[in-house]
């Protein structure tokens, strides 16, 4: 049989997820991508062996029916590890339905996979598992430290249903009440990996809060090639305007960062140094299959840079200088991210590419991240002042914070590696000369 396409597998996975949702509105709140089939013949054969053994023990067809259950992981490698080793005991912090050392917990609903509320932009990896529940026992949730043991003659515990008319559960309550507690007892001892749970499909998910998603009429229009235009603005080098540019992408109408209307560039980096700092996959255009991708913990987005015909010769000159010196333009952003302008390869379009990268701290709001340098400055200054007068600590910090704001300090990170461009001569093109590739260190802030 021909191998199933990724698109067909993704459709099948999304259908299973949608069919399990507790809340109908979740269909509009989650986006899925990159589905891959888990091909573990051992787990599949053990699932079938479990079904045959229970059928011989007199289980009904309903009790032996396969259903889907779900697990959520922050990192792809964690999801892949479960697919390799199986879902094992002692893998859960929940204990309301049974001893986690004697069974496993897995979610019934694909929109109740975490005790905390989902926030806009949160992403993760879902493992869809095939599950044979077997004989199910309904028990009250137990929040004591006296764990409920697996019930003889049963294979699964579920929580009692909520009373009709009761208040809607919180995300934490919905998560706990939608759990299956699954176990298998053999020879009087609980199995370390119950055979009735079989990893099936892994895929990436992202939550989009409807309140943070613009209405259709507010979305940037696509061009004739079907590309979104999430940002337009000015590109300047050391304060001198070069041209107006547009960032384009086929995947999203929004950026994962807040960009100012004018991008003022003053640093470059050698490509050889840049490749040492970033995963190699980040430099492959074909690896960007959606708006946000993750390579070894580094999150990236790729954009084509568009320039008007009248400004094209300016950009051509910049690109040639970058190619000649084997450099990339670096712009540090205030949310701890980095905007990188790369030259295209000879086999691609002549338009340069912009890559926006950010690490695991990408969930720090931009407004909060931009205040952190000033807060560090204020705390350091306040700590060095004498404390024998009547000025309160909060007043001192406020005064120094206001002092920092007046300094107009550069928001780029302290100690960041960068190469500085030489100041442009009056009346000259600021891109005619680039420095030699000697790596500099920024001096510590006073």
Q: Which domains does the chain have, with CATH numbers?
A: 6-212 (3.90.228.10), 219-362 (2.40.290), 367-407 (no CATH)
pLDDT at residue 217 above 50? no
Query: What SS3 state is found at 395?
Result: helix
How large is the average pLDDT for residues 187-214?
Answer: 86
pLDDT at residue 229 above 90? no
The answer to whether the beta carbons of residues 174 and 112 sit under 8 Å apart is: yes
Task: Look at 62 and 334; give whichever has higher pLDDT.
Answer: 62
pTM over 0.75: no
Task: Look at 132 and 304; give whichever has higher pLDDT.
Answer: 132
* pLDDT at res. 337: 74
Number of alpha carbons in the 13 Å side-chain half-sphere of residue 185: 12
Q: Predicted confidence band at 431 (pLDDT cuts at 50, 70, 90)?
A: very low
Q: Predicted confidence band at 3 (pLDDT cuts at 50, 70, 90)?
A: low
Instruction: Calculate the average pLDDT of the chain.
Output: 77
* pLDDT at res. 408: 47
Q: Across the strands, what pairs with 129?
A: 69, 199
- β-strands 262-265, 228-237 pairing: parallel
* Closest by CA position to 258, among listed 358, 344, 351: 358
Q: What are the distances in angstroms from CA 7 to CA 289, 290, 350?
A: 12, 13, 31
Task: Look at 288 and 20; give whichever has higher pLDDT.
Answer: 20
Q: pLDDT by residue (tens digit) across 323-351?
A: 888 888 888 876 557 888 888 763 344 45
Q: What are the distances in angstroms from CA 378 to CA 65, 69, 176, 405?
A: 63, 50, 43, 10
Q: What are the distances in angstroms from CA 423 to CA 44, 113, 146, 442?
A: 66, 54, 71, 17
Q: Predicted confidence band at 252 (pLDDT cuts at 50, 70, 90)?
A: low
* pLDDT at res. 136: 97
* pLDDT at res. 37: 94
Q: Predicted confidence band at 218 (pLDDT cuts at 50, 70, 90)?
A: very low
- Separation of alpha carbons 444 and 196, rounded Å: 58
Q: Which DSSP helix (H) or strand (E) runs through 419?
A: strand 417-420
Please, what is the end-to-end C-alpha distance for the chain in angstroms? 68
How large is the average pLDDT for residues 50-55?
Answer: 96
Query: What SS3 state is found at 84?
Result: helix
* pLDDT at res. 391: 66
* pLDDT at res. 54: 96
* pLDDT at res. 238: 85
pLDDT at residue 364 above 60? no
How large is the average pLDDT for residues 390-399?
Answer: 70
> Which H, E and C letters describe 256-282, residue by residue?
CCCCCCEEEECEEEEHHHHHHHCCHHH
Task: Look at 218 and 280; give whichever has higher pLDDT.
Answer: 280
- Is residue 279 classed exposed, middle or buried when 0-12, 13-18 and 19+ CB atoms within 10 A define those classes? middle
* Closest by CA position to 237, among listed 267, 270, 262, 264: 264
* pLDDT at res. 222: 47
pLDDT at residue 88 above 60? yes
* pLDDT at res. 418: 39
The residue whose two tokens read 């897995």 is 106
- Separation of alpha carbons 53 and 46, rounded Å: 10
* pLDDT at res. 406: 60
pLDDT at residue 122 above 70? yes
Alpha-carbon torsion, ordered 426, 432, 437, 438, to 10 deg: -10
Number of alpha carbons in the 13 Å side-chain half-sphere of residue 310: 2
In 249-392, which ranges are continuous DSSP H helix?
Answer: 271-277, 312-325, 366-383
How large is the average pLDDT for residues 177-198?
Answer: 94
Q: pLDDT by residue (tens digit) across 192-204?
A: 999 999 999 999 9
Question: Which of the residue ranges 117-121, 138-142, 333-337, 397-401 has the most confident prediction, judged by mean pLDDT?
Answer: 138-142
pLDDT at residue 388 above 60? no
* Low-confidence winner among 35-49, 146-160, 234-248, 395-409 (lowest mean pLDDT): 395-409
Q: How many helices (H) and strands (E) does the chain have?
A: 8, 21
């Amino acid at each position: 049989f021909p191998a199933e396409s990724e698109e067909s597998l993704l459709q099948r996975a999304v259908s299973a997820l949608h069919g399990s949702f507790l809340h109908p509105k979740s269909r509009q709140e989650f986006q899925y991508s990159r589905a891959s089939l888990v091909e573990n013949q051992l787990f599949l054969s053990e699932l079938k062996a479990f079904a045959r053994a229970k059928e011989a023990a007199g289980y009904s067809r309903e009790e032996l029916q396969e259903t889907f259950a779900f697990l959520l992981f922050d990192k792809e490698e964690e999801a892949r590890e479960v697919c390799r080793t199986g879902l094992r005991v002692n893998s859960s912090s929940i204990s309301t339905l049974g001893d986690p050392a004697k069974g496993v917990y897995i979610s019934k609903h694909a929109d109740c996979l975490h005790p905390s509320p989902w926030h806009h932009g949160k992403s993760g990896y879902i493992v869809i598992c095939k599950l044979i529940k077997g004989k199910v026992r309904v028990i009250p949730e137990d929040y004591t430290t006296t764990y409920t043991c697996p019930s003889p003659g049963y294979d699964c515990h579920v929580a009692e249903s909520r009373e009709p008319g009761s208040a809607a559960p919180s995300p934490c309550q919905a998560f706990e009440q939608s759990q299956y507690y699954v176990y298998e007892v053999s020879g009087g001892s609980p199995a370390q990996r119950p055979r009735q749970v079989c990893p099936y499909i892994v895929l990436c998910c992202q939550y989009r809060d409807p309140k943070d998603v613009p209405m259709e009429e507010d979305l940037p229009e696509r061009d004739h090639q079907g590309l979104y235009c999430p940002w337009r603005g000015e590109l300047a080098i050391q304060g001198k305007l070069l041209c107006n540019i547009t960032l384009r992408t086929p995947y999203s109408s929004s950026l994962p960062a807040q960009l100012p209307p004018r991008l003022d560039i003053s640093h470059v980096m050698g490509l050889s140094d840049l490749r040492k700092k970033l995963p190699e996959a980040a430099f492959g255009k074909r690896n960007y299959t959606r708006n946000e991708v993750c390579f070894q913990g580094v999150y990236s987005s790729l954009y084509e840079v568009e320039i008007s015909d009248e400004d094209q010769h300016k950009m051509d000159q910049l690109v040639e200088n970058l190619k000649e010196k084997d450099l990339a333009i670096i712009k540090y952003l205030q949310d701890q991210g980095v905007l990188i302008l790369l030259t295209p390869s000879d086999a691609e379009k002549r338009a340069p590419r912009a890559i926006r990268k950010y690490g695991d701290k990408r969930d720090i709001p931009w407004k909060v991240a931009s205040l952190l340098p000033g807060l560090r400055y204020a705390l350091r200054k306040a700590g060095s002042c004498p404390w024998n007068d009547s000025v309160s600590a909060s007043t001192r910090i406020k005064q120094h914070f206001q002092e920092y704001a007046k300094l107009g300090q550069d928001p780029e990170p302290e100690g960041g590696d960068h190469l500085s461009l030489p100041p442009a001569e009056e009346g000259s093109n600021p891109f005619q000369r680039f420095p030699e590739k000697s790596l500099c260190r920024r001096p510590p802030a006073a």
